[in-house]
Amino acid sequence: MKMLSILVDESGDFGAFEPHCPYYLFSLVFHDQEESLLLK
């Protein structure tokens, strides 16, 4: 059976704008469980 993992990570703040941290980052990783993540 095929299985897909989805990993989500976020960093930042939706609060008041601060000049030292003007960005909000959002990342997604999709991983087919039938494939190894380890290098061969």
Q: Which pLDDT value is given to residue 26?
A: 92
Neighbours of 31 (CB within 10 A): 13
Residue for token digits 């704008």? Answer: 17
pLDDT at position 24: 83
- The pLDDT assigned to 5 comes to 92
Q: How far apart are CA 8 and CA 40, in angstroms?
A: 26
Residue 8: both structure tokens together: 């989500």
CA distance readout (Å), 27 to 12, 17, 24: 12, 21, 10
List the domain range (segments joined by +) for residue 11.
1-40
Q: pLDDT tens digit string along 1-40?
A: 788 999 999 988 777 777 777 788 899 999 988 888 786 6
Looking at the 3D structure of the chain, how many domains does it have?
Answer: 1
Alpha-carbon dihedral angle through residues 15, 16, 19, 20, given to the nearest 10 degrees? -40
